[in-house]
Structure 1
Amino acid sequence: MDDRFKRGFLAGIVSGILANVIDLLMGSMGLTTLRFVDWTGIVVLAHVPPYTFAETIFTFISQIFFTAVIGVVFVYLLPLIKSKNLFLKSWFFSLLIWFTVDGITTLYKVEGTSPIPLKTGITNVISSTIFGLAMAQCLHMFEQEKATSPVMPQPAMKPLDPPKDEEDKLP
């Protein structure tokens, strides 16, 4: 996939869906008191949970859009930080986003976001880690796809070996 924006957007969507599904599962098991969709709902809807089914769907879609934006930002940062150790850098970036969002909501005392119990903090780190690693995997797969695309033209013949000495050079 040649378009950097599209790679980041799709990687953010895919990894965001995966991370949010895991986060919702952990929420249903009682492992967290504040799911990612709840954070988004507090910001987008300006009120604390519980949410109606329609509000939950809307905030889920909003959350996925947010993760798509994160994917785009990350893919545009890659030329500056290089893509070597992509998984480590993507994981670090995802934790930086989580810490920043958590810090801002704590700093501004956003109702419904603090205080949070330890189990919620741990599940947020786990979900953010899943997001970062999945985003790196998606970007890696998109790069592999770009490199081996059957649409890309391939040379018709093997390149000629370079001349060994002056006599072998063509005029």
Structure 2
Amino acid sequence: MMKDRFSNGFLAGFLAGIVPVVINFSGRALDLTTIVWSDFIALFIFGSMTTEGAAELVFAVSVLTVFLGVLGGIFARYILPSLNSQRHLFKGLLFGTTSWILFFSIPYLFQLPDLDEVALKSAMTNFISASLWGLTMAYILKRIDNKVSQ
């Protein structure tokens, strides 16, 4: 393990990214959501929410998990130290939900097609995904921090 806060946070955010991917795609399969996080990424990368084929989907999910790693790095390096290092899980939960609010606002603010209106079921599923991502990211980061300090 590394003593570099950003790298540790990146790893935590990246690994925690598995949680929302599983929740999002399970939610879509169960008709609990119409929008998954990789749809946002696909819109920014390909100009369309619809991925054409497995390669585009895998690429969009890969970019998503790297992006979540960057958010984890920002949390570990800049957010957590300025607030002190206690109550990781609570702060991770707040960071995850705040990130969700900010990123769900972007399509509305920029009037992006297909994402400017979100159904309640999609908002709720994605809120749960963001909350659990934040909690999981903070938990993994705490575990990494404990290993580094030993």
Q: Identity of aligned pairs, percent?
A: 29
CA contact (8 A) 2:37 2:64 kept: yes
1:23 Cα deviation from its structure 2 partner: 1.4
Query: Hey, what's the Cα distance between the residues in 2 that align with 1:121 and 1:131?
Result: 15
Residue 136 of structure 1 pairs with residue 138 of structure 2: yes
Query: Hey, what's the Cα distance between the residues in 2 that align with 1:37 and 1:54?
Result: 13
Pick the structure with more helix per residue: 2
Cα shift readout 1:110-133 (whole Å, capped 9, x = no counterpart): 111121110000001000011000
Query: Hey, what's the Cα distance between the residues in 2 that align with 1:147 and 1:4?
Result: 12
Segment of structure 1 superposing worse, 12-21 or 125-134: 12-21
Equivalent residue in structure 1 for 2:96, among 76, 90, 94: 94
Unaligned runs of 5+ in 1: 149-171
Matched positions, count: 148
TM-score (norm. length: structure 1): 0.82
Secondary structure of 2:112's partner?
Answer: coil
CA contact (8 A) 2:13 2:68 kept: yes
Secondary structure of 1:92's partner?
Answer: helix
Structure 1 vs Structure 2 CA RMSD: 1.2
Equivalent residue in structure 2 for 1:104, among 93, 103, 106: 106
Unaligned runs of 5+ in 2: none
Pair member with larger Rg: 1
Residue 62 of structure 1 pairs with residue 58 of structure 2: no
Segment of structure 1 superposing worse, 71-80 or 18-27: 18-27
Deviation >6 Å, runs of 4+: none
1:51 Cα deviation from its structure 2 partner: 3.3
